[in-house]
Structure 1
Amino acid sequence: MNPPSALVLDFGGVVTRTLFETHRLSEAALGLPPGSLTWRGPFAPETDVLWRRMQDDEISERDYWMERTREVGRLVGEEWSAMETFVRRARGADPEAIVRPEAHAAIRVAHAAGIRLAVLSNELDLFYGADFRQRLPLLSLFDPIVDATHTGILKPDPRAYAAVADALGVPASSCVFVDDQARNVAGAGRAGMRAVHFEVRDPHRSFSEALAHFGLALDLPESVAERTDNA
């Protein structure tokens, strides 16, 4: 097998911290009492029934987050019908604050080594808003960005992986794909990509595994703590 030449990342959960990790920040931004947000997804699946239904393919990822959006909107006394409302209201106007330090370091290492960078997301613009890309300079290093908000093709549909490989101009086998959803990782594997399951509870190990495919190392001490307010 030829060495890979492109690193393809999911966005939410991989490049950025998940909403599960920022409940305290969200509560403060929304004016909610501490402890109002209790769902923890992969950090406590035994207490998140809706998350388990998503993992069992009973509902889609979009279904999960739309239910959480409506739920949080009701907590603040409003009717929310767009994930963009939730994300912007909960996370404020500073996109840099939600980027994982491990992601920032790994992306810089790959870019400096001449590795092509791409995003393959189910909901980048849907969740964050159309102007988010301009407000996060790190995204300027990615070309292309393939977003199901516009294509309508959701991972793990094989066409999603083919679309990003075609946009990169490389075969699927030249791509290392990273995602925090097991079914999307499996889909990438079926599409012929080298796939890494991103463990949101251990981002350093996950990014190290991805970079190792290129013979690169993550230039960030393991002692660097993940910026989370849900310890």
Structure 2
Amino acid sequence: MDRTGPPSAVVFDIGGVLGGSADGIFAFAAELGVAATSFAAAYWRHRDAYDLGSAAEDYWNRVANDLGRVLTAAQVRRLDSADAQRWSELAPGAAELIDAIARTGVQLALLSNAPRSMAEQVRGSRWGARFPTKLFSCDMGLAKPDPGVYATVEDALGLPATELVFFDDRPVNVLAAQQSGWSAFRWQGPRQCLTDLASAGVAVPGA
């Protein structure tokens, strides 16, 4: 990869990286009185359309229908709010990592496949304010690993692919970024992130 200097921006995924986990699946399954495996299958089956901007009501009612359940409007709002919150809460060590990287002077950006409710949660959070550029699939109408997503980020940042470093928990998304010319790494926690950043040319003080 041709690069004349250190990277200018570090781009992070959110769910499974800076925040969020799959733990909420069990609580949601219990609320609906179904097995966690059944709930998870229905939850992910319809997720792509939801991440691309479909309405929360449509998504949750499709999930419920697959499970033989009927949701009230209040249940939809509660499930959607809880789901958005769990995905957008910072994971342990993430806040310190963000602070450390910010001190290097590189730009920080977010790139997430996310529905509107999650995007709103992140935009309204204190930690989300640390990222001037926040790009979500629900707004773009495109989702990783579509090559157009990475081109959109480059345009938003005003930077070429060779000046971007990216972290994501899904190998397919990492590979797509690499094929677009980015320096991309599979997320393996804050400590490994610092090592990967150093290898990409971002020296984090104190790391």
Distance 1:75 1:87, change over 3 A: farther
SS at match of 2:98: helix
1:191 maps to: 180
Deviation at 1:169, TM superposition (A): 1.6
1:15 maps to: 18
2:56 maps to: none
Deviation at 1:193, TM superposition (A): 0.4
Q: What amino acid is the match of 1:157?
A: D
Q: CA RMSD in A?
A: 3.8
1:224 maps to: none
Q: What amino acid is the match of 1:112?
A: R
- Contact 1:10 1:178 (C-alpha < 8 Å) held by counterparts: yes
1:102 maps to: 93
Identity of aligned residues (%): 25
- Contact 1:208 1:218 (C-alpha < 8 Å) held by counterparts: no
Alignment of 1:44-59 (within 5 A): none
Query: TM-score, with normalisation over the residues of structure 2?
Result: 0.72
Query: TM-score, with normalisation over the residues of structure 1?
Result: 0.66
1:169 maps to: 158
Give the Cα–Cα distance (whole angstroms) in 2 for the partners of residues 13 and 180 of structure 1. 6
SS at match of 1:176: strand
1:211 maps to: 197
Distance 1:118 1:84, change over 3 A: farther
Distance 1:72 1:207, change over 3 A: farther
Offset from partner CA, 1:26-59 (integer Å, 9 cap, x none): 56xx7467x9524798xxxxxx7x89xx8xxxx7
2:48 maps to: 62
Distance 1:40 1:116, change over 3 A: farther
Give the Cα–Cα distance (whole angstroms) in 2 for the partners of residues 84 and 68 of structure 1. 11
Tell whether 2:71 aligns with 1:78. yes
Give the Cα–Cα distance (whole angstroms) in 1 for the partners of residues 8 and 15 of structure 2. 23
Distance 1:89 1:133, change over 3 A: closer
Give the Cα–Cα distance (whole angstroms) in 1 for the partners of residues 105 and 62 of structure 2. 39
2:109 maps to: 118
Deviation at 1:133, TM superposition (A): 3.2
Give the Cα–Cα distance (whole angstroms) in 1 for the partners of residues 136 and 99 of structure 2. 22
Tell whether 2:8 aligns with 1:5. yes
Offset from partner CA, 1:38-86 (integer Å, 9 cap, x none): 4798xxxxxx7x89xx8xxxx7851698589714995875168xx9763
Give the Cα–Cα distance (whole angstroms) in 2 for the partners of residues 113 and 76 of structure 1. 50
1:225 maps to: none
Consecutive unaligned residues of structure 2, counting only runs of 5 or more, are 52-58
SS at match of 1:101: coil
Offset from partner CA, 1:104-128 (integer Å, 9 cap, x none): 12111111211100111221x4252
- Contact 1:73 1:79 (C-alpha < 8 Å) held by counterparts: no
1:128 maps to: 118
SS at match of 2:15: coil
Q: What amino acid is the match of 1:9?
A: F
Q: What amino acid is the match of 1:126?
A: R
1:227 maps to: none
